Amino acid sequence: TNAVAQIVQCATVVRTLPDSDFGGTPGEAARDDLWMGFWCGFLCMLRSVVRSLPAAGRVVSALGTSAAAIVQEGLPETIQGALYAVASRSGDFHKNLDLVDNSTNIYV
């Protein structure tokens, strides 16, 4: 949950930065680049979490998945769109944060 809290904070920061902070680069493209850097860092944190799981966390259950897959694949897939919408100033801010919060409660 710390990794999710950090990426939510990063998305909010990217959203609130004025276009002038990107040094004259077209704001939307520079904002996307910054967001992708944060997102890659988030995925690295999740990979680190997966590496720290005991062997049982990588065992595929009768449901066809493992704890490792849920952390490394399921959670990011579920929250990526909502967080990108927050960072890119599109969609309803509070609705997207609620989606991330609810998804986190389900996956974690």
50 falls in which pLDDT band (50, 70, 90)?
very high
Which residues are within 8 A (CB) of 29 and not within 5 positions of it... i.e. 6 or more apart? none
First to last CA, the chain: 7
Q: What is the pLDDT of residues 13-24, one digit of tens each?
A: 999 887 766 665
Model pTM? 0.86
Per the document, the length of the chain is 108
Q: Which residues contact 56 (CB under 8 A, 6 or more apart)?
A: 67
Tokens 């999740």 sit on residue:
46
In one-letter notation, the amino acid at residue 60 is V
- Tens-digit pLDDT profile for residues 20-47: 666 656 567 788 889 999 999 999 999 9
Average pLDDT over residues 83-103: 94
The reported pLDDT for the residue numbered 26 is 58
